């Protein structure tokens, strides 16, 4: 079976200016060093506001920290008269490894559809950036027990038209909306149910081999105290972490989850 390197990705959302970003990234690097973290065992990434990207890039490259970085959104357009947008080529120039697309907050507050998310993912892939594509059901869907069917519908939409070589560079993040920022983490079994179903669907859409190497993250109130049980699930390959990623020591402990068990 393909070995999937775990990934802990901190989604800072709209927190921390570029000065504060410097402090947090430094503290994170020191905390990882204190824990003697071996980057081969789990990758670390920070997904920061656009205004922090250049600072974070120069700091990490200059200090050779074992941390990758990325943005939280990308335009569907490549260049032109699109006021306020940031393009994939611009992010690629900043050596972004990742970009979040289709976060539930963007779906909710900016009306983003699976079709738009799909177009954004294609832009990122076309410029060598791995999209972290978010899917996840709201509370009403969970309460009706339709979470698997709902999320698989999103997966079909966000992956539509991708070539296998593109799909191989995608990361999917299952973020149940009712668990985001609420302190109400999904149970490990809830996370596994949906992440496992996503992997099976990717196998149907592409191939079993591709599905086995694809990383699937869980997101929603993940923190150091629940990460070990989540990571014990066979189809959970990491976490997309909001609040807890703003605390350097807490996030470093999540990255080093193998030592917490």
- Which span sits near ligand 13P by CB under 6 A: 108-116, 145-153, 157-165, 239-247? 239-247
Compute the distance between CA of residue 88 and CA of residue 94 in angstroms, rounded to an integer: 10
Choose the stretch contacting ligand 13P; rule: CB under 6 A; options: 16-24, 154-162, 214-222, 230-238.
214-222
Return the closest-CA partner of residue 174 out of 147, 211, 213.
147
**Residue 177 or 210 with smaller CB distance to ligand 13P:** 177
Q: Which of 60, 170, 216, 241 binds ligand 13P (CB under 6 A)?
A: 241
Of 130, 192, 221, 226, which one interacts with ligand 13P (CB under 6 A)?
Answer: 221
- Cβ nearer to ligand 13P, comparing 24 with 210: 24
Pick the closest to residue 103 from 8, 163, 181, 6 (CA basis). Answer: 181
Percentages of the chain per state (helix, strand, coil), in multiples of 5: 50, 15, 35
Instruction: Let me know how long the chain is.
Output: 261
Strand 130-135 to strand 98-101: parallel, antiparallel, or no bridges (unpaired)? Answer: parallel
Query: Alpha-carbon distance 60 to 94, whole Å?
Result: 12
Please, what is the minimum distance in Å from the beta carbon of residue 135 to ligand 13P? 12
Provide the mask over 115-144, with x wherever binding to ligand 13P is found by CB under 6 A and - wherever it is not. ------------------------------
Contact residues for 257 (Cβ-Cβ < 8 A; gap 6+): 6, 8, 42, 224, 227, 228, 231
Residues 10-29 binding ligand 13P (CB under 6 A) are 11
| Site for ligand 13P contains 110 (CB under 6 A) | no
Catalytic machinery residues? 103, 175
> Interface with ligand 13P includes 216 (CB under 6 A)?
no
Residues 222/244, Cβ–Cβ less than 8 Å: yes
Report in angstroms how near the CB of residue 219 gets to ligand 13P at its nearest. 4
Does residue 243 bind ligand 13P (CB under 6 A)? yes
The window from 78-86, 147-155, 206-214, 218-226 that contacts ligand 13P (CB under 6 A) reads 218-226
Q: Is 193 in the site for ligand 13P (CB under 6 A)?
A: no
CA pair distance 137, 150, nearest whole angstrom: 7
**Helix 224-231 to helix 188-205 angle, to the nearest 10 degrees?**
50
- 85 exposed, middle or buried (CB, 10 Å; 0-12, 13-18, 19+)? middle
Give the nearer residue to ligand 13P in terms of CB position, either 176 or 210. Answer: 176
- Closest separation between CB of residue 46 and ligand 13P, Å? 12
# residues near ligand 13P by CB under 6 A: 14
Binding site residues, ligand 13P, CB under 6 A? 11, 103, 175, 180-181, 219-222, 240-244
């Amino acid at each position: 079976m393909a070995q999937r390197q775990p990934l802990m990705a901190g989604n800072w959302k709209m927190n921390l200016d570029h000065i504060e970003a410097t402090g947090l990234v430094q503290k994170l690097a020191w905390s990882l060093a204190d824990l003697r973290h071996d980057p081969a065992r789990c990758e670390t990434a920070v997904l920061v506001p656009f205004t922090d990207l250049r600072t974070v890039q120069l700091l990490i490259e200059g200090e050779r920290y074992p941390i990758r970085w990325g943005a939280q959104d990308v335009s569907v357009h490549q260049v032109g008269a699109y006021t306020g947008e940031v393009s994939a080529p611009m992010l690629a120039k900043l050596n972004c490894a990742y970009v979040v697309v289709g976060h539930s907050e963007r779906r909710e507050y900016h009306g983003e559809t699976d079709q738009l998310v799909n177009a954004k993912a294609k832009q990122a892939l076309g410029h060598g950036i791995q999209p972290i594509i978010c899917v996840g059901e709201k509370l009403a869907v969970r309460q009706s027990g339709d979470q698997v069917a709902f999320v698989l519908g999103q997966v079909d939409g966000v992956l539509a038209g991708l070539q296998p070589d593109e799909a191989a560079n995608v990361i999917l993040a299952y973020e149940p909306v009712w668990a985001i920022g609420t302190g109400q983490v999904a149970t490990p079994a809830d996370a596994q149910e949906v992440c496992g179903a996503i992997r099976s669907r990717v196998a149907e859409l592409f191939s079993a081999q591709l599905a086995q190497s694809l990383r699937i993250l869980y997101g929603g109130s993940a923190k150091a105290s629940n990460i070990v049980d989540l990571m014990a699930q066979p189809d959970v390959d990491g976490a997309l972490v909001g609040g807890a990623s703003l605390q350097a020591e807490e996030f470093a402990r999540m990255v080093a989850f193998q030592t917490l068990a």
